[in-house]
Amino acid sequence: MNSQAPSAPRASRRPPARVLAAAAAVVVLAGGVGTWLVVRSGGEERPSCATVGKDARIQKDLAPGDPSGMNCRELAVALKKAAASDGSGRHTLEQAGVMRDLVNTLDDDFRDRSRADIAAPLREPVAELLADYSTDMHTMLVHYSESMAYIRHAGSSGGAWRDERGVVRMPVENQSLILVMRAVSDDPAAYATLRKAETGRSAEDLARISKASAGDSVSAPVGATATALGLLDAMADEVLASRSKSEAARWKADVMKGLSDGGASEVPAFSADPARYIARTWERDAGSGGYPALLRQTRDMVGILAKASGRTAESLAEPLREATASSRVGQGWLDEALIDIGSAPRSPRT
């Protein structure tokens, strides 16, 4: 498993004026943090939906509507209407282009303010949009052999494209995606949405492991699962580090509620739909296991696969040992992304 996250030169996407503004902000910062906040954020300590609504890319995407005059909830509805699929999971080039612009607009705002957060009414809608693009999200995070195409299309001269199968792909820079995921995670329902989406995509990887699979055919999907879930674990750590004990307990409880809300749906037979069997079985068991179940998720999902496919625990022991290091890779990506925008990680990694 490659431990280097795919990324592209960030300066290629940012307009020169924004680069100059960022440089000017460093000078202003020397004059005092309070002054910097006024210059870079319009005096607001929290991000405003107006930042998104006034961005030229978003205004173009939502025309003829005027996003600059929308309140937060109206903007969220307009963005979902413009970027989400029709429920089929397939997107048009235009929809993927809007999603790409949204991620990049938020990323630019984070870098302007040295802080990865967004206004509360946008968190869950943006998380739902990310989940709608779960294949892109998962691929950009962990599938390196496939990610070179995403990297090529992530720069300012790139954009959404159709792959060799005609499927529309939505490319953004690795760190931009990670920072948007972190920003929405302040909302427990949004975090649960991301976790469920990644659980489903990781289950698809694990479901490719047959009873006869060996070598990289086993270690690669197990490692990819651990990397993605390790990243999400680190995001939870960051959220919890800034909350009181009671607030943290409430956030954890709400996350578990969000993960178990689908408990009424049936678990299919493994032979009929192995990926959904793995994901749904884990979600069902996690509902009774509580928040600590998240920290065991890779091991538990691999255990579900082993039992259903007839593999021995011994045949998966080494990939699971390697998964611990893969999990730390995901955690390191979040730290790197936060440091890159000047926002030191709040929670030490264990």
Which two structure tokens, joined as six digits, stand for 346?
């709040």
Output Rg (C-alpha) for the chain, integer angstroms.
20
* 338 touches 116 (CB < 8 A): yes
Q: What string of pLDDT tens digits covers the 350 residues of the chain?
A: 444 454 444 544 443 333 333 333 333 333 333 333 333 333 333 567 989 999 999 999 999 999 999 999 999 999 999 999 988 889 999 999 999 999 999 999 999 999 999 999 999 999 999 999 999 999 998 875 567 888 899 988 899 999 999 999 999 999 999 999 999 999 999 999 999 999 999 999 999 999 999 999 999 999 999 999 999 999 999 999 999 999 999 999 999 999 986 555 789 999 999 999 999 999 998 888 899 999 999 999 999 999 999 999 889 999 999 998 999 998 899 999 999 999 989 877 65
* CA terminus-to-terminus distance, the chain: 21
Type of residue found at 253: A
Report in angstroms the alpha-carbon separations of 141 from 193, 252, 300, 344. Answer: 17, 24, 21, 21
3-class DSSP state of 168: strand
Global confidence as pTM: 0.87
Instruction: Give, for 49, the enclosing helix (H) or strand (E).
Output: helix 49-53
Residue identified by tokens 């969000």 is 258
Query: Does 64 sit behind a cis peptide bond, omega within 30 degrees of 0 on the bond before it?
Result: yes
